[in-house]
Structure 1
Amino acid sequence: MRSCDVLVLGAGAAGMFAAAEAARRGRRVVVVDHAARPGEKIRISGGGRCNFTNLATAPDRFLSENPRFAISALARFGALDFLARIDAAGIAWHEKAAGQLFCDGSARQVVDMLVGDLRGGGGEVWVSTALHSVERAGGGFVTQTEAGAVASAAVIVATGGKSIPKMGATGFGYRVAEGFGLGVTETRPGLVPLTFAEQELAAIRPMAGVALPARVSCAKTSFEEPLLFTHRGLSGPAVLQISSYWREGGEIVADLLPGRDLAAEMAALRPEAGRQAVHNALSRFLPDKVAAWAVARAGLSGPLAAQSNAALGRLAQAVHRWRIRPVGSEGYRTAEVTLGGVDTAGLDARTMEAKSVPGLYFVGEVVDVTGWLGGYNFQWAWSSGWAAGQAA
């Protein structure tokens, strides 16, 4: 039977970073993953350039049943701390909107950095190796893998969630938690496109592929980012963001012309564009297909000059407050993250260790902490992995 000090289950962002940190401390570390290569989700993220963190990282950018749980890890190892690692590795980067940081070159540079840090500390990575079970054995653990049993003093579970099953995502980490008596909160797809019923799709299908700036709201939460019409419903950053707050049966509200007063601006156009068809006039503000849809939704026809102020008010309502009730989402198949996970009530916020199982740690997406779109989930991986790596 092989043995080590720390066995890390999962060679993703959180697992590799936790492993490298433990190896820096002189711990004998082995990382096991069923995938053929480490860091596969890192490699494909950000269009292949990896949105590795966000300078605006703060606890309020994360969802959890305990919104305060992430505070400790994020404060002790934050975005600037990880950026220092990126700089030290010589990886060139650039900032996009809202503090999002991307590699100038390939995301593989981040994977190579993590693997190099781990191996530099004497750690090993076993890929193409399935995990079967984790059990208590004396003062440590025995983990059954495809390559045989491994005894370890500590186990860090970094197996991720259920999102993108074609990449091998499973609920293995949740089963490990439940096997040791830890709670798991409800899990569901997050940062995922929303889908509509056929009667709604019939109206918007001609707009599939059209994108525009929008403000999308659900209850008291709003995001002002691009929205994309699809053949199934809506996508784009604004919709992916709001999907983490939407629940089945609820509605979302979209403002397709945020920050403008459409009724007033259309009324002001009457002297110069009164003879234009109302949808042609509206095309000054919105893509042509969206303008035609909005005019039909408001029940208008004829030239702009023929539209009363009340009619223009209905048009503005259709554009500024489009209320729609999605029937679902595209599910884990396209979800970027999994909401919910190992209940934080059972974990130490400073170390990520299970309170009732000394030596057992949970990090990254498997935990009930989920960030917004834009590098926040990677930062949670680094922060939680760092915390466990200092303690395991």
Structure 2
Amino acid sequence: MTWDTIILGAGAAGMMCATQTGGRTLVLDHAKAPGEKIRISGGGRCNFTNMYAGPENFLSGNPHFCKSALSRYTQWDFIDMVARHGIAYHEKTLGQLFCDNSAKDIIAMLRTEMAQAGAGLWLETQIAQVGHDGTGFTVEIEKSGRRETLSCRNLVLATGGKSIPKMGATGLAYDIARQFDLRVTDTRAGLVPFTFSDGRFKAISGVAHPVRATANGTAFEEAMLFTHRGLSGPAMLQISSYWRESQPIHINLFPDNDPFEELRTRRQAQGRRNLTTELATLLPGRLVEHLAGEMNISGNLADQSDLALRTLCDALKNWEMTPTGTEGYRTAEVTLGGIDTDGLSSKTMEAKTVPGLYVIGEAADVTGWLGGFNFQWAWSSGWAAGQAIAKRPKA
């Protein structure tokens, strides 16, 4: 069977691309339903974009690569589509937009747009082999126990990265890219919880607190969550994308103020009170119990000199620790690295050396922050590739 365009992957980027390509377009996916990562995102309500999305919110070997697509299909363009389909949404925090009802509304919207564009969708379809016959691409598939070879003029890699393998994530896009001599950068888990081999935070698992977390000179102010395995929460997920193994992270437990003057004032009025008791009015009690053992906090307020209080407060505002590692691709929201953007056109997402081959979404070496940015990259890159394909001559 011959198609103008075959898109590998019915995720956010793949479906978005299919709404734009025109001609005979077919989307293939091994899953039983499209948009599975959309469905589970945002606690089932899909943080579908961020009002403040811009190039500064993305990591890439080439930080300029994402600018073209993001500027030509913005968060406001996607918001307009959401509004046209009557999907109610709200801002949660920091510009993050969520569906009022369900993430399934976004999937239904994309499927409707695909149907209107005439794009086909084949699910539970395995990709056995991809080739090039000199004029176009061949895709050998396995479906319902049968093998079939499809051909197309345009092939789009939209199968994502390696994150969350239990949902079927693989390195398929990377394998195909290497097959066509496209470079793939080193990949690692991003937006992922930290782990500590000594189980140091088991006793305070479930405690959360707003912090400023720093790794490799990049800081985020959001909540931190202690877990049985280590550290999670938005602040930790954010800095995990900047952290490297064996490097320390720094936690400021008082990002908005310095507790020194407060404790100094209390020492004058309530000097006989225990220092940990007073700290527990400023921090979660269970966290203070943990810190008392780790930082040797003891005695009454009256026993603390100005120097002792200042030393303690400085330690609480610069708590240094070195994670053993992260939870890896098993729970990572994204994959850092991917198909090298040096080999792609930033305007069309097309491979510079392989006409008709496109790379979009997480498969490319572009990774967003937590908070709807990765979905916006999926929409923008999928749109850019789809628009470019639509302008190519049809077979």
- Taking structure 2 as the reference length, the TM-score comes to 0.96
**Partner residue, 1:51:** 47
Partner of 1:306: 303
CA contact (8 A) 2:18 2:117 kept: no
Letter in 1 for 2:366: V
Matching residue of 1:20: 19
Maintained 8 Å contact 1:364/1:384: yes
Secondary structure at 1:145 match in 2: strand
| Cα deviations by residue, 1:69-115 (Å, 9 ceiling, x for unpaired) | 00000000010011011011111111121111111111101101111
- Residue 135 of structure 1 aligns with an amino acid whose one-letter code is G
Please tell me whether the aligned partners of residues 298 and 314 of structure 1 are also in contact (alpha carbons under 8 angstroms): no
Structure 1 partner of 2:196? 196
- Please say if residues 54 and 79 of structure 1, whose CA atoms lie closer than 8 Å, have aligned partners that are also in contact: yes
Instruction: Select between 295-304 and 50-59 the one with higher mean Cα deviation.
Output: 295-304
Contact 1:20–1:121 (CA under 8 A) maintained in structure 2: yes
Q: Among residues 49, 59, 67, which one is paired with 2:63 in the alignment?
A: 67
- 2:20 partner SS: helix
Structure 2, unaligned stretches of length 5 or more? Answer: 390-395
Task: Work out whether 1:142 is the aligned partner of 2:141.
Answer: no
Residues 264-343 of structure 1: pairs in structure 2 closer than 5 A: 264-343=261-340
* Percent of residue pairs identical: 52
d(CA) in 2 for partners of 1:173, 1:369: 14
Q: Which amino acid aligns with 2:135?
A: G
Letter in 1 for 2:12: A
Per-residue deviation, residues 297-336 of structure 1 (Å, max 9, x unmatched)? 3323221111122221232133111001111000000000
Q: 3-state SS of the aligned residue for 1:97?
A: coil
Moved more, 234-243 or 132-141: 132-141
Deviation at 1:159, TM superposition (A): 0.3
- Provide the residue aligned with 1:252 in structure 2: 249
Count of residues in Structure 1 that have an aligned counterpart in Structure 2? 385
Distance 2:30 2:216 in 1: 40
Shift of 1:295: 3.0
Q: Give a deviation string over 1:201-235, Cα, whole Å, max 9, x none.
A: 33x32211100000000122100000001111100
2:107 is aligned, of 104, 108, 111, to: 111
Alpha-carbon shift at residue 255 of structure 1 (Å): 0.4
Matches of 1:282 and 1:22, distance apart in 2: 59
Counterpart AA for 1:279: T
Deviation (angstroms), 1:261? 1.2
SS of residue paired to 1:98: coil
Contact 1:4-1:151 within 8 A present in 2 as well = yes
Match of 1:219 among 216, 224, 228: 216
Corresponding residue for residue 87 of structure 1: 83
Deviation, 1:20, is: 1.1
Judge conservation of contact 1:216–1:222 (CA < 8 Å) in 2: yes
Normalising by structure 1, report the TM-score. Answer: 0.96
Say if 2:215 and 2:243, in contact at 8 Å, map to a contact too.
yes
Q: What is the CA-CA distance between 1:273 and the residue it aligns to?
A: 2.5
Q: 1:228 aligns with which of 225, 230, 247?
A: 225
Aligned match of 1:126: 122
- How far apart are residue 268 of structure 1 and its match? 1.1
Q: Do the aligned residues in 1 keep the contact of 2:3 with 2:24 (CA within 8 Å)?
A: yes
Q: Measure how far apart 1:274 and its partner are.
A: 1.6
* DSSP 3-state at the match of 1:227: strand
The residue correspondences of 1:1-40 to structure 2 (distance < 5 A) are 2-23=1-22, 27-40=23-36
Q: 1:364: Cα distance to partner?
A: 0.1
Where does residue 371 of structure 2 map in the other structure? 374
What's the Cα RMSD here?
Answer: 1.0
Match of 2:393 in 1: none
